A and B are shown apart, each in its own frame.
Chain A
Amino acid sequence: MIKLIPRNQPSKSMIALTPLIAVLLTMLVGGALFVALGKDPFAAIRMIFWDPLFGEHAFYYRGQILIKAAPLIIIALGLSFGFRAGIWNIGAEGQFIMGAICGGAVGLAAYPSDSWLLYPAMVLAGALGGMLWGLIPAFLKIRFNANEILVSLMLVYVAVNFLSGMVTGPLRNPDGFNFPESRAFQSFSAAHNPEIWAGTGIHIGVLVMLGLVVGCYVMLTRHIFGFNIRLAGQAPRAARFAGISPNRMIMICLGLSGALAGMAGLFEVTGPAGKLSTTFPLGYGFTAIIVAFLGRLHPVGIFLAGLLLAVTYVGGDIIQSQLSLPKASIQVFQGMLLFFLLAVDVLVMYRIQLLQRRVR
């Protein structure tokens, strides 16, 4: 039998190194996976991690990295507050979709307005849509003690179906030959989230993401709200003693992460995705969970982890086109990253003792 015994003094440097070790282990086992698929593992790993940053076409890929990183980081920042407080929002993907639908609908309803007020209104509607979607599991948890992990996860599939309903119904492009997609937001500039400097990939969402990284860092380390979140996560009874209501915490954490996910969805649909369609969900909401943990739930860590995961997304596209590997292989790769992170974490925090089986 194996027994895990907590280490008295887990090594500080090991805790800091864990994400790096997890990345290395992922490369190792991922490489083995590529060998099993009959591909050159060194070429594959190089294409995933090196080519997007420094390869021949890096000038194009670098912009793509920021485009992919922005939604991941915005969503992960929101999730990290709840995760610290022990509130598990697994349904950011659904909140991301609902934000895109609600914010997008506001824009589409105003077509062809050119008011500069339109875009802020869409961002607001997107955040609100994501927030309300996040508050459903919060309400059910408070009222009926329903598990927020299950409820928020199941609501993702509700949101996906709602999206297909919308793009084949009310939000379908009237001039779009019955394709299941909305009007392109590019078609009226007031609702468009353009690349601000051509070729850099920087759009409004990227700037908001940078602001949020700084804002969340200040909140977490300097503000009583961040302190209360940490307290609620570390010592729930002490939090109650301090006067923090657990129910309010649930509402705030799920509402906040929903709002940020919704906002990210709006930036995505009006920018890189360009329109609402059934192919809009790309799994950012799920990958953001990996980003949050890989970044140790810390804003700066999340920023770095978001960039790393964005690199693997872009790298995944490269191996798909150049090595004709299936799309799922990069998802397995990303999943491995979370798996190894959690596994290495356990080994850093605990030591293993082998117990002899007792003879009865």
Chain B
Amino acid sequence: MSLISLQNLTKTYPGVIANDAVSFDIDHAEIHALLGENGAGKSTLVKMIYGLVKPDSGTITFQDKPFAPREPRAARKAGVAMVFQHFSLFEALSVAENIALGMEKPPKPAILSDQIREVSVKYGLTLDPERLVGDLSVGERQRVEIIRCLLQEPKLFIMDEPTSVLTPQEVQTLFETLRRLRDEGTSILYISHKLEEIKQLCQRATVLRGGKVVATCTPSAETAKSMAEMMVGTKLTTPQKIKPEFGQPLLRVQNLSVKSADPFGTSLVDINFTLRAGEIMGIAGVAGNGQDELMLALSGEIRTPPASVQIEGGFVGQLGPAKRRQRGLLSAPEERLGHAAAPDMTLTENVLLSAYHRQNLGRRGFIDFARAQIFAQGVIKRFDVRTPSAENSAKSLSGGNLQKFVVGREVMQNPRVFVVNQPTWGVDAAAAAAIRQSLLELAMAGAGVLVISQDLDELMEVSHSFAVLSEGRLSPPRDAEGITVEEIGLLMGGAEIA
């Protein structure tokens, strides 16, 4: 008998069927992958198992008994534990205090600390219970969440995109832990879209598309490409990277230091690099190592001494975003809704954010809405943004479509220098390929492109040169040709930085 069996689970939200008669089983001591693009219904499905969402119809059988948790507490009691993509930890409290907060009846602090040490040694998750969470790296914070779950000795352990925030080495450590758990009889439901990892780790995979189960496969018998095609439902082509001759320097960053305004943010320390015409430079690094600060310092939302940022020889460190745009530096921040776009404004209004001056969308301060609409429609057309019209609000678009729109809005303005943070985060495979292709074309046309990303595969695919941001310091950029994932991983962990 299987550990858990889902039968015809259906959940409808106004306007969408999130899950449509989903059925599959997870065996005892199995690592089972749940695959699918953003919006395929993975989150809704696990939320039903974890008691956060009630299914409209269908049943779950867990350990041969009907299972319908009313709330997460009931699910945890029955032996289901879950680690979310976004952690719920208090930075100002210690590891042990954070774990105690999540427990029904926490033991005495000294006993709990001993239990934490015991579990962390047993599963190879090094962690000091007395440290402040605010001082931990993202990988360590994830360990706090995992240990919190393991203390409940779960039968089924759900992990939602656990590796998106980890270095390659940390990923391997995590996999060791998960395999050990499996060998002890725990089943794991592993949600991811990283296909190579799934091939390494999982015995079986269930693929969701549009809320339906479209395939079940054995990952070790598939290729990453074949599984990607199951997810997307079409054939995929990867963009071609051509190594060009680089032109003159376009963007030079010299001794850039930025003190983070956030007490648990990362300050930038003495960053130096030069981006040339025709070059795509990839900046890798685990989230929270200064990416946001670097992005803001380059876009102009944080001002720095004039010489620390230079565009084509001119000092711009003291200039704000609008002035830098006039000099040819455009940017697309990571957070689409609320930062790159105003949620309640229409797409036509949203192009005014960055294109008002460069595209002459007004005269003497009076907005030319007709021109703005034409520009917005151009972006929608070229980047295949799925929306009824340019007059729909930004928040009505799915994440991937909005991402295409905000990247497209900048690319269509022919920047001299384009800085983009997480260009394909949460975007489906076909759209991601289109966005990467547009970055390559931009560089081919003579622009300099700086891509900040945590997705190593993406960086390997597009970048000509490569640097790693770790604890606010940037490694000296090097040629991307011939670099291995292991080398990058070491750099990401903070090693080898002179």
Contacts and interface: CB of A to CB of B under 8 A. Distances in A.
Interface of A: 8, 222-225, 227, 230-231, 234-235, 237-243, 245
Interface string B12-51: 0010000000000000000000000000000000000000
B338 A8 contact: no
B307 interface: no
A230 B353 CA distance: 12
A261 B328 CA distance: 41
Given A223-B366, A225-B365, 16 more contacts: A224-B362, A227-B352, A231-B353, A234-B342, A235-B345, A237-B335, A237-B338, A238-B338, A238-B339, A241-B331, A241-B339, A241-B353, A243-B321, A243-B322, A243-B325, A245-B320
Nearest to A248: B320
Contacts of A243: 300, 320-323, 325
Contact of A242 (B14, B322, B338, B366): B322
Nearest to A232: B342
Contacts of A237: 335, 338-339
Which range holds the interface residue count of chain B? 20 to 34
Contacts of A241: 299, 301, 321, 331, 333, 339-340, 353-354
Contacts of A240: 301, 321
Contacts of B322: 242-243
7 contacts: A224-B366, A235-B341, A235-B345, A238-B353, A241-B299, A242-B321, A243-B322
Contacts of B362: 224
Given A243-B322, A243-B323, A235 B365 contact: no
A222 B343 CA distance: 20
Contacts of B222: none
Given A231-B342, A237-B338, A238-B341, A223 B321 contact: no
A224 B354 contact: no
Contacts of A238: 338-342, 353
Contacts, number: 65
Contacts of B321: 240-243
Contacts of A8: 14
Interface string B430-469: 0000000000000000000000000000000000000000
B353 A242 contact: yes
A245 to B, nearest CB: 6
B356 interface: yes
Contacts of A235: 338-339, 341-345
Interface in B138-160: none
Contacts of B356: 224, 242
Contacts of B352: 224, 227, 242
Interface string B318-332: 001111010000010
B87 to A, nearest CB: 22
A204 B275 CA distance: 61
B393 to A, nearest CB: 10
B293 interface: no
Contacts of B353: 231, 238, 241-242
Contacts of A223: 365-367
